[in-house]
Structure formats: structure tokens, C-alpha cells
A and B are shown apart, each in its own frame.
Chain A
Amino acid sequence: MKGLISGIKRMEIHDGDGLRTTVFFKGCPLKCIWCHNPESISFEKQVAFFKEKCISCQLCKWERTPKTAKSCPTSALVLYGEEYETDALIEEIMKDELFFRNGGGGVTLSGGECLSQGDFATDVAKKLKEKGISVYIDTCGFVKREVLQKIMPFTDKFLYDIKAITPEVHKKSTGQDNALILDNLCFLSENNAKIEIRYPLIKGYNDKECAKIGEFLQDLKGITKVKVLQYHNFAGSRYEALDMQNTLPEAETTFDDVQKAVEILKSYNLNAVNGIQED
């Protein structure tokens, strides 16, 4: 089976417990205005052009193709999107097997939205589980129920994004309604999945949602942690390089903003943590 991957990051500590390899699947059904991985939104291969790195050597003849990206001396051209067969991806991941075993880590399938390539993700997760590797699924939840059903047996934990409870707020920020997302979360909870909630805090967009999120989550079982994530507007240059419209909000979240949200969530008896501190 084949899938499209936008990147693989080894020795990652931010995407779950222990030392992990994070695999970024390409393509996402949401269009969050604050997205810091714009290269993983499109389901197609993309060649980005970082003009500040270009030395005008013209080896590319100013063509942006996977081939010219490969031979660009300064990585001014970068290809996002590489096709992987399941076995090749597993082989890449297993290079760090000993580190996972010594560090309580494993693999996190992320994105983009890894479950948008549901069959491929399930195939990868299944084969990793057969090898005894811990598998975490980082998802926005906007996915078909049957994909969740299929991958659940091979998943040790879901890292599940909740961006807003109010449908209008969600739609405005991500382009999609959140009914399916909340529904899927309840489904996972009812089916005894372990879930870590991630709440990216964006001032002026979803910061007023905090109490509602707390209220929604308080009665769900299986929620191991609610992590409030800080927002930076670092990814601007990548939007430009990909010829995408930069939608990033200006205002960054401060430590205090995050801490305030954590306190509110804690008042709902949730294990809320500050993503700046506890990573």
C-alpha cells in the first residue's frame, strides 16, 4: 500500500510520550487559519520556493519540479510529498527502534490528517503493532467513523485536537463544522480509547471556547490529559514559499494566556497542562 508523506521527524518529544518518530501525512480536510504546517494541507505533491536561499545558479532553469528540487544546491526548492510503500516507511521508522524501546517512545502518525489516508495509516499502524511499537494517532477528528474503527485496535493513544465547541467559531476558524469531530471523540471515549486532547489557543479566535471545552470534556472517560498549546506565527515564510495565502493571525499566545486557560480547564477536573512548560 502507498501513501503520501510530507516529512519524517526523528527524536521528537512534542508528539506524545517518550522519544518518538513523527510521520507527517500529506493532506488535511480542515483549513485552520493558524495552521503551522501549510505544506501538509494539500493532498498533492508541492515544490516550495524559498527565495532567500536561492543563489540564482539557474540549475533549475526556474522550473519548480520534484526533479529540480532534488538537485537544488541550497534547498531553495523543497519538495513536499514523497510516496512511501508501507514497508519502506516501516523500515525508515524502525531505524530508531532501540531508542523507542529505551525511552518509552514509539511512532506518532500525524499530518496533515493521517486518517485522511485511512487505509494506508491503518496498514502502517497494524504492521508497527505487530513489531511491538507504540503507535499514537494525532488527528483533527474530521474523519470517517469507519477509519477510526479500523485503526483503533492498533492505536495506543489518540492525540485529539479540539479547537472549538461553538459550531460557528469552528467553522470560521477551520472551514468545517465540528459536529463530526465531537461525535468521533465521544465514540473513541465510549470505546475505551486513551485520548490526549490538544487545544491550540489562538487569541481572538477560540480563546473564549475554553470553558465550553472544559464542560464538554469533563464527563468523557479516557481523557488522560488536556494540553493547551501556544501559538506562534513562525510559519509565514512557508506559506509564501508555497504560493499560499498567509492566513496566520498576528497575535501570538503568551505564557500567561496559556496558563489562564489551563486554570479554567483544571476547574473542570481535567488534567490540564501548559504546553509551553510540559512538553
Chain B
Amino acid sequence: MSLNREELFEYATKHIKTDDNSDVLELDCKNIIFLLDNCEITVPESNRFFITVNCEGIQKNIYNKRMHLFSHEIAESGLYVGDEARAYTGYYDFSHTTAQWESVLSLGITGLRKRISEYAEKNKGDEKKDRFYKEISKVYDAALRFLKRASDAAAACGKNEMAEGIKSLTENAPKNLFEAMQTTIIYYVLQHMFEGTYLRTLGRLDSLFYSYYEKENKENAKELVLAYLKEIDTLKAPANTPFALGGTDEHGNSLINELSYVFVEAYKKANTNNTKFHLLCNDNTPADIIESAFEGVRNGSNSIFFMSDKKIIESLEKLGEDRKDALNYHVVGCYECGGEGELTSSCNARVNLPLALEFALNNGKTFIADKQAGLENNGRFESFDALYKEFLRQLVYMCNCAMKLTDLCEVHYRDVHSAPILSGVYVSALEKGGDLYCDYTAKYNNSSVNALGLATAVDSLAAIKKLVFEDKTMSLSRLTEILKSNWENEEPLRLLVKNKYPKFGLNDKNTDNIAKNIVDVLHQAISGKPNVKGGIYRLGLFSIDWRWEFGLKTGASADGRLSGETLSQNTSATFGADKNGATAHLLSIATIDASKTPNGTIADIDLHSSAVKGKNGINALTSTLKTFFDLGGFGVHYNILDTETLKDAKLNPEKYPNLQVRICGWNVLFSALSEKEKDEFIARSIK
């Protein structure tokens, strides 16, 4: 018996509020079980591994409604004004983590269920723990019933391979490559469609599947990998389905294996729109797999992100994570990495770096809304150093506000969200007998602050230094007036500053060192600060598509940016400022100490396709990557853009169904971009 979405939703909405006799875990489990037992199952003709269901987003909707119950606290905190001005924000993060996939595969869904019972037996007698085991057991029982239904539905549609596999998985751990792949998809669906998470990543697929691959006929395996990639592309994850290949073992060896190559080759053929592939590199990563990945990047119909194991592991160890956990890290979102056993929460808080300068110049008020969201000052700065000091004072204040806002939210996890399916996999949750979110039972319960618009802030500071304090072209108060007026009647000056002044990304040490210093200060203000979950805060430097929203609220800046324009992307130079090319750009970014940013120091390198043609082009790309990582780079993605193709694709989208660009954290179809975003990419492609 299956119900339509409205009926499922109606049931779920009965379990929004908690009262004294009930708790969120119990309510969520009720909902999830109901969804598992009553959702509608469809069997898409194109699917080889698993079915689809009709309950996407229902549990997420319930969490959102619960969060709303506490939003008045933010309004009352006095921090709302800064939040509204997009000077700083801080919020819940239920996503951006990953399952312990080794357990999922070695035990299977049925083995996970049995393991819960074993822990229940071991810890019997503690009322609170008993209740946890009892609730999540019921969910896993329902999951097994759901699998039985799924198997029947598949059989009814003549999908025998799928049906048999699912049936076998209701009784056993996966036995072969097909069932192993099927298990990851099933678990992914359980998390996303039922538990209602926004984004949790797949693991390191080459290591996870290798033992099954070894036993498989190699031609079959190739076919399976291709079919798998095409199917995970359809998983309806709202922010891409990320997976990783590679990594480093305890002796420093690369974990690239034969299956890694099969995945890369298949990925280049699969033309997926919604998967994201992280290649985890170290000094010993075979050159040919990197070259092969670059060929994929260059053909433009996919998205590959290169990450440096060395720097990521160092950043996690610096956070205090055990070496073993750091080595076994996972990419938990677009770029950010969490150690084994860490519930990462990478997207809680944000601070707007250019606004800290706006506050310094304008007595703590925003240019656009004239609201007091920063600290007051006397507005007199005799030297650049004095202004810079004030910028940092405002910035540290904003970081503290962002963390306070996050704390205000995160203290309510127990009233808002539980994760019975994920908790059933985490060994620490099972040992402690409590939910990952409600009871903070992960080994590391961390939270994050991301700093946005680094290059915009650095370029603005560098421009003020030259214009006001070195060349003495005008007074600081005159410049502030110009910025407040959005460069009114000052277009030549604005363009001069924008096009000819020092910029981050030109491999100019003086400017790059400002960026380095800001990150050092952010690190001091944020990294290791306690959160309310028994964990600590971690720093990141990515701005993804937030840069548009935060840019809209940011007044004109001294780098020549107009009021409301986007902030700089991630940790990269302002668009168009990388005039000395990719090598200079990478050298600038490498100045930053990325070991302080487990959430990512992210380089976006735009190159015209003619600049990387032929074998020598691959050679050059490989050299940029190796050098960047030798110098301590964290992660880099390349957009190989062809102006003519982009222009044509804008006019004739039907001709380019698979053309993709990496807009921010994730890749998108070019045809799906707004006209403004399309134009931005076309402008970026002209070198």
C-alpha cells in the first residue's frame, strides 16, 4: 500500500512539535518509519541498481518548520542586524558529512541492523541509551521492510538483476561489485529521501569497491562503473553527488588502484551533470591518472576537483584530530574535509571580509542600509597600519558574532533534528548510545566559519594604501564619500583602480602578504574556539554562490567594485585581476597558510582552451598542479573556457546539452545559468 506525497506529508507534519513526553529522535523515527512503509516506489526504466521514491524533502520540511520555532531568539539576540546586512551569518548545518562507508559495505543494511542489537545488548540498562537503540532499530527494521517492497517492485517490472540484488541485501552483506554499488545507492537514498539531509557525500569509491572489483570480470566491471556513475547522477541530491578517488595511506603511498583508472575513464564518458569528482592527490599519485583527469577537465563535460592530501591531513591534525582519522579524511561537500568520525558541519557561519573594511571606514555602519552592524570608531586613521588594525578589530568582532549566532542555533539540535540512519552507522554514536545530532555523539563535533570575499578585501586595502597613504591622491574621508556615492562621477578613477592598481593574484608579495595575514588573524579568531556541541570551530575560505547574495548587500569597495556587485570567488583573485596568468595566480594563493583552513583554501583557475591545447597543454596543467601542491596548496579546480563556445551556447543552448562550468562549489550545466552568470563566464573566458 503506498501513499501520495500529500498524504505522506500530512502524516509527517503531525510530528513537528516536541512536548515533555516525546523527543525529536522518537518523532523523526516515527516519520521515517512511516515514509519507509508507505512511500510510493517507482522503477525507472533507465535504472540498473535501485528504485526511486516519492518522499524527497518531506523530513527536511519538518526540520525547517522546527527551526522556525526558535528564530525569534536570533531576532532578540541583537545580532539580527549584522545577519540581515550579511556582515556575518550563523546557522544550523545538518549536512556536509559522510557515512562510515566501510561499515555500510562490510556489514550491509542487515549487518548494520544486527550491530545495533549487539551494542544494545552490551549497554543494556541505561534508560536513555536503551531508547536510542530501540528507536534506531525500528528504523532499520523498516528499512529492511522497504527493501523487500523495493525488490518486489523491481521484480514486477522485470528488473530481475535489481530485484535479486536487493533481495539478497535484505539478508546479507554485499557479495559482489554489483551489490556493493547497489548498497551505496540504497544507503544514499535512505539518507536523502527519508532522513532528509541536504548533502552527504559518497566516500572514496576506488578503495571502497576494490575488493569486489578484484573478483569481477574486468569488462563487466567497466560496464558497471559506467552504469553506476549514470545512476548516481540521477539521485536528486540538491547540491551534486560528490565522490572521491585516491588518498594516502599511513606510509605516504597513493591509494590509487586499478579501479581508480576505470572510474576516471568511465567518468569522462558518462557525461553526468550532477556528480562531483574529487581526486585526492599526493607526491606519489601516478602522473598518468592526473593527466587523464586533466583530459576530462579539458573536454568540458564534467567536473573534477584536485585536492592535496598533504595539506588537508596537516590541517585536520592541526585541529587536534588523530593522525589516523586525518589520513582517512573525507570530502564532505564542495571542498571541505572532515576527519574520520567527524561530524563536520562545514557550512554554519559566514563572515563578509569586505564589510569589515566598510565598517572600519564608516563607523561600524553599512554603506547601503546605513545600519550600525559593526563597532563604532572615531574614523581617524593617521596611517595605513592604523586603518588595517581597525579593519582587523571589526573582523574579529564579526567572527565572534557569527559564532554566537551559530551557537544560538546549534544548541537546539535536540529540538530540531536527529539522524537515526546515519547514527546507526557511526561507531562512536553506537558506543555512546545517542544520536549524532541530538546527543553530539560523534568523535569530533565541529562547526565552521567561512570567510567570504578575501580578494575583494585585499584589493581594497591595497588600493587604499596606494591611493591615500602612499600616493596621497586624496584623503581617506574623501575616498569614503566616493565609495558611499558608488563612485558617482568618478568612473576614470574607479577604472584606474580596478585595472591598474595592485591586486591579489598577480604574484606580488606585498599584496599577497595582506591576504596571508588576514587568514592568520581569522585562524586565531576562529580555529579551536569551542562550540556548544563539545567540539570546536574550523575555518574555511570558500564563498561559492553566496558571493552573489553577500555582494548585493556590500557597498562599493575601494578595489573599483561597484555597490552590489559580486564578491570575489573562493580564495581566488577577483575576476579579470589574474592578468599575469595562472602560474602567478597560483603562487599568490600558495602564500596563504592552508594548514589553517580545513574547510578549504580554494583556487579557481580559468584558462582559455587554446592555452592548454595538445599534449603540451596537459603537460603544463600537470606542472601547475604539482607546483601548487608542492608549495602547500589545498585544492584547485580548473575551468577551461572557450569564448566562442560559450557565446554560441548562450544563443543556442540546444546545441550544447552537456556543456558544464564549475560555477562555485559544484558544476552546473551552462544552459541552467542566469543570463548574468552566463555573461560573467564569457567575460572570464577572454584572456
Contacts and interface: CB of A to CB of B under 8 A. Distances in A.
- The judgment on whether A and B are partners is yes
Interface of A: 9-11, 13-14, 17-19, 55, 57, 59, 70-71, 73-75, 95-96, 98-100, 102-105, 277-279
Contacts of B612: 13
A11 B624 contact: yes
B581 A9 contact: yes
Contacts of A95: 507, 583-584, 587
A73 B560 CA distance: 11
A276 to B, nearest CB: 9
A11 B614 contact: no
A74 B499 contact: yes
Contact of A71 (B496, B587, B614, B622): B496
Contacts of A102: 622-623, 626-627, 630
Contact of A279 (B491, B582, B616, B630): B616
A104 B619 contact: yes
B447 to A, nearest CB: 36
B496 A10 contact: no
Given A95-B507, A104-B619, A278-B614, 4 more contacts: A13-B614, A75-B500, A103-B619, A103-B626
A13 B619 contact: yes
5 contacts: A10-B581, A11-B582, A73-B491, A75-B499, A99-B623
Contacts of B622: 102-103
Contacts of B474: none
A19 B623 contact: yes
Contacts of B619: 13, 17-19, 103-105
A11 B579 CA distance: 12
**Main secondary structure on A side of the interface with B:** loop
A10 B607 CA distance: 13
A277 B616 CA distance: 11
B499 A73 contact: yes
B69 interface: no
A96 B499 CA distance: 23
B125 interface: no
B150 to A, nearest CB: 50
Interface of B: 491-496, 498-500, 507, 580-584, 587, 611-617, 619-620, 622-624, 626-627, 630-631
A98 B616 CA distance: 17
Most chain B CB neighbours (cut-off 10 Å) among A11, A102, A105: A11
A277 B627 contact: no
A145 B393 CA distance: 65
Contact of B492 (A11, A59, A103): A59
Given A19-B619, A277-B614, A99 B495 contact: no
Contacts of B615: 278
B303 to A, nearest CB: 22
A55 B495 contact: yes
A98 B627 contact: yes
Nearest to A105: B623
A279 B492 contact: no
Given A18-B623, A103-B619, A55 B581 contact: no
B632 to A, nearest CB: 12
A277 B491 CA distance: 43
Given A10-B581, A277-B614, A279-B613, A57 B620 contact: no
A73 B587 CA distance: 26
Nearest to A104: B619
A107 to B, nearest CB: 13
A73 B500 contact: yes
B581 A11 contact: yes
Contacts of A104: 619, 623
A11 B583 contact: yes
Contacts of A11: 581-583, 611, 620, 624
B620 A18 contact: yes
Given A55-B495, A73-B496, A75-B499, A99 B617 contact: no
Contacts of B630: 98, 102
Contact of B584 (A10, A14, A105, A279): A10
A80 to B, nearest CB: 16
Contact of A13 (B493, B495, B620): B620
Contacts of B627: 98-99, 102-103
A99 B491 CA distance: 38
B624 A99 contact: yes
Contacts of A19: 583, 619-620, 623-624
Contacts of A17: 616, 619
A10 B620 CA distance: 11
A18 B492 CA distance: 40
Contacts of A277: 614
